[in-house]
Amino acid sequence: MERSILEIKVLKSYKELSSTVADIVEQQLKEHPLSKLVLPTGSTPLGMYKELVSRELDWSLVITFNLDVYLMNVDHPESYQSYMRKNLFDKTNIYPDHSHFPFRPTSVFEDKMDGSMGIDLCILGIGSNGHIAFNEPGSSFLSRTRVVDLDEQTIEDNSRFFDSVDDVPKQAITMGLGTIMESKKIVLMVSGEHKLNIMNVAMAGEVTESIPASILQTHNNVEVYYCD
């Protein structure tokens, strides 16, 4: 497995991080209106979505696939379906039929991506344990979209979005590492000093399934952006 240490582009602020990645998405949409995008959730991309909405881009031909979803009621305010509607979908002209979330049977979800001639751009974040999407430590580099049990660390980290840690879903459906790595271009957004160590290890250390994000070292088109 060939690998290369990934350059980390350090930005001055969260606003600059959000704007920089929004620039990449905007360029993709303007140059390729029929683009297929993989999109993240969580706190890090919120500024990017706000920036994209403010630019009033044409999303009418874009097809999106979300990285993962909790196994929970899709109308729950903390579901990732609700998150995407609130932060992007309801504020742009993207067609509802063009936005896809992982679902069961997962093989059918994978077929939808293959049928779209592959993913043009994938935006990722990284978890404090090195996960990307909900591919927790120990996930196979060849893994596909599937149901997973969430690590205790992930549940604890995500409890800030819920009333208590007991309310955090314990399972999710996630794109696999093998699925993500088929994207033509990947952009990793990292925000916060608490992510600095795991980012450095994942981008420059050993490529190992114990740090799922380390697989990005073997992709030929990855950009990494970080701010404190």
pLDDT in tens, 107-150: 999 998 876 578 999 999 999 999 999 999 999 999 999 999 99
Domains contained in the chain, CATH given: 8-227 (3.40.50.1360)
Q: What is the per-residue pLDDT for 1?
A: 74
Cis peptide before 33 (omega within 30 of 0): no
For 131, residues 6+ apart whose C-beta sits below 8 A from its C-beta are 137, 139, 151, 154, 212, 213
Residue 95 has pLDDT above 70, yes or no: yes
Residue 193 has pLDDT above 60, yes or no: yes
Just list the catalytic residues: 68, 129, 131, 136
User: For residue 81, which phi and psi values (nearest 5 degrees)?
Assistant: -65, -45
pLDDT digits (tens, 9 = 90+) for 4-16: 889 999 999 999 9
pTM, whole model, 2 decimals? 0.96
d(CA 65, CA 31): 19
How much of the chain is in helix, strand and coil states, percent to nearest 5?
40, 20, 45
d(CA 15, CA 227): 9
Q: Show the tokens assigned to 190.
A: 């990292």
Contact, 3 vs 207, CB < 8 A? yes
Query: What is the residue whose two structure tokens read 């009418």?
Result: 60
Q: What is the per-residue pLDDT for 118?
A: 87
Q: What is the per-residue pLDDT for 116?
A: 54
Nearest to 115 by CA among 185, 151, 155, 65: 65
State the chain's mean pLDDT as an integer.
96
pLDDT digits (tens, 9 = 90+) for 37-88: 999 999 999 999 999 999 999 999 999 999 999 999 999 999 999 999 999 9
Q: What is the per-residue pLDDT for 69?
A: 98
For residue 172, what pLDDT band results from cuts at 50, 70 and 90? very high
d(CA 132, CA 40): 10
Q: What is the per-residue pLDDT for 113?
A: 86
Nearest to 101 by CA among 86, 115, 82: 82
CA angle 228, 216, 101 (to 5 degrees): 85
d(CA 193, CA 157): 15
Q: What is the per-residue pLDDT for 115?
A: 64
Q: What is the mean pLDDT of residues 12-24?
A: 98
Residue 157 has pLDDT above 80, yes or no: yes
Query: What is the residue whose two structure tokens read 């600059």?
Result: 16
